[in-house]
Amino acid sequence: MEHTHTIDSVCTYCGVGCDIAAEVKDNVIQAINAHPEGVVSQGKLCVKGKYGFGFVTAPDRLKTPRIKKRFLAKNPAIFEAIAPMLKEYDEEWMEATLDAATTAAAMKLQEIRHTYGAKSICALGGARTSCESAYLLQKFTRHTLGSPHVDNCARVCHAPSLKGMRETIGEGAATNPYNDIYNTEFMIVIGSNTTEAHPIISNRIVDVATKHDNLAVFDVREITLHRFAKYKAILPHEANLMVLNMLAYVIIDEELYDEHFVEDRTKGFAQFKEKILNDPLANPAYFETIAGYEHLSKLIPKVAREYALKNSMIFWGLGITEHVDGSYAVMAIIHLALMTGNVGKLGAGLMPLRGQNNVQGACDMGMLPNYAPDYQEPKEVGMMTPNLIDAMQEGHIKALLNMGEDITHIHPNLNKITKAVENLELIVVQELFMTDIAARADIVIGVKSAYEKTGVYVNAMRRLHLSQPLVHSDLPDDWEVIQQIERKLVGEYDYTDSKAIWDEVREVAYRRFSGASYTRLERHRVRGLQWPVHTEDTPILHQLDFRTEDGYGRFCYHPYVLRGMVQELTNNALTGYYLTTGRTLAQYNNASQTSRSEKLNKRYEETILLVHEDDANDFPTPYVVLQTSFGETAPLHVKFTDKVQPKTLFCTFHHAASNINRLFGDQRDNLTGTAAFKSIKVTVLQAP
């Protein structure tokens, strides 16, 4: 009988990247706790980190590869080549060996490339798995197959943060470690329900706000964080860019900016200043004309003054990025820091709160159409996910390699995507479970979860953490599947373990990772290392220069364009209902992991629609269906509250069965194609 032993690793959920200590007995996880000396977790975990490990031993884990019978019928040569390695599974699927599944994938990829050309293939995913696997998927797609089309789920979340930050300060990542929250004098949180989405960061924010009363919170509904805020701002839908420009207007109008910082370290301020002062929509007085929101005309200047005169940090989430002007709003956030010198020092900086456990790492590895590893220029720029969907629909993209991204659940305009993927001749999915896209695939390969493998994960503050397996599994790692397919096509890959891939990453992406060997990462497992890592790591970015070509920060003003709810309010004609979506603490993204942990699922089993009490007459039944011109939801359970504004609605997007993403069309951020998930006008129908 084995004794219980403790293994240190990293949590598999959000971008906070908490250090964990798992108690393991007889190769089964008994409990997960925060590492007692954990620099990230501070000895605390959220409910997902603590209880959400049931998925590892869930009875419906994908254990053996499966191939669709329909695919085999259409591809007799493949069927013949692998027939001895197949056995009956059910009406739809055959069970296959890993050798058979990778042979089938290699044969079909070769045929598609030969028939339609290399660019008819695309690869998506990588934000849920290790850096090593994300790196290898983009390398395989770009170099072995010759297709530039790689992307990951940053496209539906923080691509505007990357774009907006790179345009202004040259680096699309958080500037400071989380513990700098204890050194800050003032905090702004905008478009982030931090207590639900990034609870271990919100612990720090709440600690500091409770002691110093130095927090401003901007959101379209009342969230838990408002309870601890000195400045509690509820905004109309889609007003982010306008409000951020207003904060800048006050700082300029009242001459609160840091002249020395602006002169020494930035470019373009004079033009920026002139444009903003002449923009009527940047003047906080504009809110005096908007019924129900008049108080913001006084509140915004107060926030601007405190932010400008103190060492301040700004935190933001998808409530900023998932809008048509998401990238511009991020630029507007950076402008505030550049004007006031609130970047490049202790206790002052910019904190985009990333969603997935390795979305920062997947982007660093070059799993993006416009960046090779280390954010270098690729030989050829590929298409972003929304354009790939269009290309599937038009018949130009014929094959999809999908690594842990449930594209037919998490993306917008699901009716369109579902039709688009039906056009494909090959879908290969590497997954833990039969997610929505896995059910639509031709070849599905079960792989190790984060708790069963070794690999590097990069959290939202650029911290590298080398995870180690908590339990042993005979399933392949994602990179091993890719290597098997490559060997059947070309035969160049000969990686013996994930360390061999990481050592290549350190050479290819040396600007960030040259000094981050496995040995050093093992030694500093509890603290982690923040990239760039050379002889030492870099907790605070931009201390001397910005990471732009010339080292200067850039101002580039984008005026707010009147639209949607703000426009209706301006005209005193608010009609219909505006919906926004978000997270709840107990579930995670498509819920494929959390829904398999009973303790979590009991807390949030179905999608709840929050409705303001004053709108009760429009909701006489317990369930309603929401509809737009793009599609409609399943019936949603109505709950009345005073936490949302009249004529606005809120629900989560975790449960695939609710079909929330059918409501959203192709409206997206102008620069990055990120879907405008955070606001849409809906029609309310009584549930059948």
Q: pLDDT of 441-451, one tens digit each?
A: 999 999 999 99
Asked if the model's pLDDT at residue 584 lies above 80, the reply is no
Q: State the pLDDT at residue 413.
A: 80
Q: pLDDT of 410-423, one tens digit each?
A: 777 888 899 999 99
Q: Rounded to two decimals, what is the model's pTM?
A: 0.94
User: 411 with 322: CB under 8 angstroms?
Assistant: no
Q: State the pLDDT at residue 591.
A: 56
**Which among 425, 518, 433, 403 is positioned nearest to 139, based on CA atoms?**
403
Q: State the pLDDT at residue 259.
A: 98
**Range scoring the smallest mean pLDDT among 24-33, 133-142, 154-163:** 154-163
* Reported confidence tier of residue 108, pLDDT bands at 50, 70, 90: very high
β-bridge partners, 675 = 668
Q: State the pLDDT at residue 143.
A: 97
Asked if the model's pLDDT at residue 688 lies above 90, the reply is no
Asked if the model's pLDDT at residue 608 lies above 90, the reply is no
Per the model's pLDDT, the better-predicted residue between 654 and 487 turns out to be 487
Q: State the pLDDT at residue 284.
A: 98
* CB within 8 Å of 68: residues ≥ 6 apart: 92, 93, 94, 441, 442, 443
**Quick one: average pLDDT of 56-78?**
96
Q: pLDDT of 560-582, one tens digit each?
A: 999 999 999 998 888 889 999 88
Q: State the pLDDT at residue 604.
A: 60
Sole residue written with tokens 């500037």: 175
Beta strands in 69-177 (DSSP E): 86-88, 93-96, 121-125, 150-151
Q: State the pLDDT at residue 593.
A: 67
Q: pLDDT of 474-497, one tens digit each?
A: 999 999 999 999 999 999 999 999
Q: State the pLDDT at residue 571.
A: 87
Asked if the model's pLDDT at residue 590 lies above 60, the reply is no
Mean pLDDT, the chain, rounded, equals: 93
User: 58 with 433: CB under 8 angstroms?
Assistant: yes
The conformation of residue 535, written as its DSSP 8-state character, comes to S
Name the burial class of residue 519, with classes exposed (0-12), middle (13-18) and buried (19+) by CB atoms within 10 angstroms of its CB: exposed
Residue 347: how many other CB atoms lie within 10 Å = 18
Q: State the pLDDT at residue 586.
A: 57
Q: State the pLDDT at residue 156.
A: 80
Q: State the pLDDT at residue 273.
A: 98
User: 461 with 530: CB under 8 angstroms?
Assistant: yes
Q: State the pLDDT at residue 662.
A: 86
Residue type, 144: T
Q: State the pLDDT at residue 204.
A: 96
Q: State the pLDDT at residue 588.
A: 54
Q: State the pLDDT at residue 516.
A: 97
Asked if the model's pLDDT at residue 544 lies above 90, the reply is yes
Look at strands 231-234 and 215-219 and give their pairing.
Answer: parallel
The conformation of residue 610, written as its DSSP 8-state character, comes to E
The conformation of residue 178, written as its DSSP 8-state character, comes to G
* Reported confidence tier of residue 659, pLDDT bands at 50, 70, 90: confident
**Range scoring the smallest mean pLDDT among 32-41, 93-102, 220-229, 535-544:** 32-41
Q: In what order do the strands lie in the sheet with 150-151?
A: 86-88, 93-96, 66-68, 443-446, 426-431, 399-403, 121-125, 150-151
**Quick one: average pLDDT of 202-223?**
96
* Reported confidence tier of residue 607, pLDDT bands at 50, 70, 90: confident
Sole residue written with tokens 């910019």: 350
Asked if the model's pLDDT at residue 283 lies above 90, the reply is yes
Q: pLDDT of 358-379, one tens digit each?
A: 999 999 999 999 999 999 999 9
Asked if the model's pLDDT at residue 1 lies above 60, the reply is no
**Range scoring the smallest mean pLDDT among 36-40, 73-77, 492-496:** 36-40
